[in-house]
Structure 1
């Protein structure tokens, strides 16, 4: 299978952190988004950033900046659609997405998503803790063949990722949460302190 393109989703408002670009917060002396880039870039062909507002503030990263595909910023699916449009224009049949605030992103995310892909070419990461498994809906493999369907779903008011992926029978790539949840994300100052402790522990 052709190596997918990667899209880091950084289009949120970070209200629980007081606003601003969460990905710029540092853990262990390194910005969250730089940690994500370091882990995701080796697994994909090209890498882009989904972010809204002035793209110049991300110029130091050297990545294409893709604004949401719709103006009302309806959540991560709009970022996924922007990534699919970008990948399709470059001839890539699928993308892998990851959040910009997850410093412990799995180094084998992409191959495991590819292995878990449904017949439609769609897969989500999931975590398992004991006998509980739950999906991580912003970490996924998305085929460009479904971008028209996704665009129509957004126009019809679909906002929750799982409402759309369940319709297409997404496969699940399951990751353990021991010793560290690989999808731990920084939403609050307390999360940032915990990530710092984990990174330096």
Structure 2
């Protein structure tokens, strides 16, 4: 498999942060988005940003900006589809997605997602981390947390995904499970590397993780 392209998902509404672009918030003197770009770029063959609205607000990043093609806010799968359409134009086989508000994801993310896809007809893998004891007590059978914004996605299934979104599908794992999606397990010590910034409290916590 050739090195996949990277797509940073920044199309969320950020309602718990009062709206706007969470990725442009700063920790340690740098924006969350710039930290995600710096972490993802060495792992992939090229990077695009999935974002809606005026793309000029990201002009200083020097990245292609691809918007959702599905009407309304259709969630992260719409961003995945936008990334897959962009990757198809580049002649790529697959993309790896990362969230714009998750600055600590693993530096071997892509390598391990690709390794987990070995033997698949279509490379489709989500990142996971072990659930904590408290999370296990709260119910549910799964012993892992799946991180649906961090995954390896095949360009070959983009039209299938488009049809599913048009029919109203919004839950990522329903689509990945339907297509034999796999999981790649990452360590969560000393904290979950897929921790994302949703609230002002999370932003303060991310600052502490830097120290």
Report whether the alignment pairs 1:128 with 2:139.
Answer: no
User: CA–CA distance in 2 between the matches of 1:161 and 1:52?
Assistant: 19
2:123 is paired with a residue whose SS is coil
Report whether the alignment pairs 1:60 with 2:60.
Answer: yes
1:176 is paired with a residue whose SS is coil
User: CA–CA distance in 1 between the matches of 2:123 and 2:187?
Assistant: 23
Show the counterpart of 1:8: 8
Structure 1 contact 94–141 (Cα < 8 Å) conserved: yes
User: CA–CA distance in 1 between the matches of 2:65 and 2:132?
Assistant: 38
User: CA–CA distance in 1 between the matches of 2:7 and 2:41?
Assistant: 10
Structure 1 contact 129–176 (Cα < 8 Å) conserved: no
The count of corresponding residues between Structure 1 and Structure 2 is: 200
Show the counterpart of 1:80: 80
TM-score (norm 1): 0.97
Structure 2 contact 6–44 (Cα < 8 Å) conserved: yes
Show the counterpart of 1:142: 153
User: CA–CA distance in 1 between the matches of 2:44 and 2:84?
Assistant: 14
2:49 is paired with a residue whose SS is strand
How far did 1:106 drift? 0.7
Match of 2:208 among 180, 197, 201: 197
How far did 1:120 drift? 2.4
2:195 is paired with a residue whose SS is coil
TM-score (norm 2): 0.92
How far did 1:130 drift? 5.6
Please give the residue correspondences for 1:152-191 in structure 2 after superposition, counting only pairs within 5 Å: 152-191=163-202
How far did 1:70 drift? 1.0
Q: Can you give the 5+ residue segments of structure 1 that lack an aligned partner in the other structure?
A: none
1:91 is paired with a residue whose SS is coil
User: CA–CA distance in 1 between the matches of 2:132 and 2:23?
Assistant: 30
2:186 is paired with a residue whose SS is strand
User: How big is each residue's C-alpha offset from its partner over 1:118-173, in whole Å with a ceiling of 9 and x where there is no partner?
Assistant: 44210000011467312101100000000010001001110010111110111111
Q: Can you give the 5+ residue segments of structure 2 that lack an aligned partner in the other structure?
A: 134-142
User: CA–CA distance in 2 between the matches of 1:161 and 1:130?
Assistant: 22
RMSD: 1.1
User: CA–CA distance in 2 between the matches of 1:104 and 1:62?
Assistant: 22
Structure 2 contact 70–166 (Cα < 8 Å) conserved: no
User: CA–CA distance in 2 between the matches of 1:159 and 1:130?
Assistant: 26
